[in-house]
Amino acid sequence: MQRLQGKTAIVTGGAKGIGAAIARRFAAEGGNVFIADLNLDRARETASEIAAKGGSATACQLDISDRAGVDELIAGIEARHGAIGVLVNNAGVNVFHAPLDLMDEDWDRCMAVDLKGAWNCSRAVLPGMVDRRYGAIINIISNHAFSVIKSTFPYPVAKHGLLGMTRALALEYADRGIAINAISPGYTDTDLAAAEFAKSPDPATARAQAEAKQPVGRLCRPDEVAAIAALLASDEARFMIGENIVIDGGVTIRMYE
């Protein structure tokens, strides 16, 4: 399918994991993809992989917490490639603490990236989308947007906020041709997850234990999240407004064991 043919898309945090999977899927769907990430070398690797398969991808270095940097990048892309059709706010950081152990700088970093960073990017692309009366913004959130695990503060605070921002902006711009939605993946099999397993004395057992907690018996694959993102970015989902699609293998509908 070529559902994104002729569309320019930006994927933040697109160098690896879920972001890279989304960038690959968008390119396979015909999109002109910009991979915006702090890690420029890794972003270039992903862009090269996409180009080798015939896709269109460009690597860009970006700190989404830097509003001026975000504005400069978006303006440059629009000047060279026209209006941006799709924004995926995927970049984020895990900041987990017991509340009273949290330092002010940890709180500020979490909010600056996981919440304000998504707003910085959205604010930069929205004027062009409004002018065209067309666009899609997809926020990659997490089950932390509506469920909470102890000792993960303040990450769920930011993610609850991002879900609220998704819904508020969705209503503001629904009548101007802009579809704004969110995806909440569960435990996903990324490099970050592998690194966490590697910290265990027995990584294989740690992985098996994590998988055993999932009703489907495995972790989510990044390409499964990318498939949902491709739908939300396409013209097939224009009547979907302010939704949060949960893809977690059934974790959040289970009570307790």
Active site residues: 155
Taking the C-alpha atoms of residue 46 and residue 209, their distance in angstroms, rounded to an integer, is 30
Taking the C-alpha atoms of residue 165 and residue 204, their distance in angstroms, rounded to an integer, is 38
Question: Cis peptide leading into 154, omega within 30 of 0?
Answer: yes
Kindly write down the DSSP assignment for every residue of 134-182, as one continuous string. -EEEEEE--GGGT---TT-EEHHHHHHHHHHHHHHHHHHHGGGTEEEEE
**What would the two tokens of residue 5 be?**
């043919």
Torsion of CA 200, 202, 208, 209, to 10 degrees: -50
